[in-house]
Amino acid sequence: MTIQKRDFSIGRVLEDVMDSKAGAVVSFIGTVRRERGLKAIDYEAYDEMARSKLEELRAQAIKKFKLTDAVVVHRKGRLKVGEKVVIVACSAPHRKEAFKACEWLMSEVKKVVPIWKREV
Amino acid sequence: MKINLRLFSIYRDIVGSKEMTIDVARGATLGDLFEELLHRYPGLKSLEGSVILAVNRDFADSETKLKEDDEVALMPPIGGG
């Protein structure tokens, strides 16, 4: 569970959550969408609290959906149109739980992880 | 007693600093601290209804009692992703 300026490798995150006990890996990737007049988005985080909240969410997701593993990487700093912002990846024995968990985890990230954005 | 303040986004812009220490009376609540900040920085008044508060990296409400050396954060509504 990381908050970082640098880009992340989608492949590496997916490999990280893969496990021989999991038959399914589901991921969500958020990017900066092209909109009229938008050049970039500045993301700011309360790093220490954001990391702690991400760890809490990971533990809750694993318990609630009986996941094998879950990972969230959220970037901060100035991100241009088209750049990756966040990845949520969940692995589970079966796909249903992995899909549900991925959606739940991303929704919770937007509610309780102290990260803010400003359009540039 | 001394409280360590962390200010994010528009709160940092209004106060003009991302971190500061502030003295409050022993037994003060988070609400008391916010009142003191409103007195010092009237620009915060318009954000009073939407402020998100945290104490020691967990969300807290204005009734929360503060202790010496607590870390208090003021932030706008969360919106990553």
Q: Which two tokens stand for residue B1?
A: 């007693």
* Per-domain boundaries in chain B: 2-75
User: Domain total for chain A?
Assistant: 1
- Fold classification of B2-75 (topology level): Ubiquitin-like (UB roll) (3.10.20)
Q: Which helix (H) or strand (E) holds B28?
A: none
Output the domain CATH number for residue A64: 3.90.1170.40
For A109-118, write each residue's pLDDT tens digit.
Answer: 999 999 999 9
Q: Give me the domain span that covers residue A78.
A: 2-119
ipTM value: 0.93
**A41-86 pLDDT tens trace:** 999 999 999 999 999 999 999 999 999 999 999 999 999 999 999 9
Pairing of strands A69-75, A84-92: antiparallel
With beta carbons under 8 A apart, name residues in chain A contacting B54.
46, 49, 114
Q: Helix, strand, coil proportions of chain A in percent (round to 5)? A: 40, 35, 30
What residue type is assigned to position A25 of the chain?
V
Nearest by CB to A111, which of B8, B57, B78?
B78
Query: CA-to-CA distance for B40 and B17, rounded, in angstroms?
Result: 13
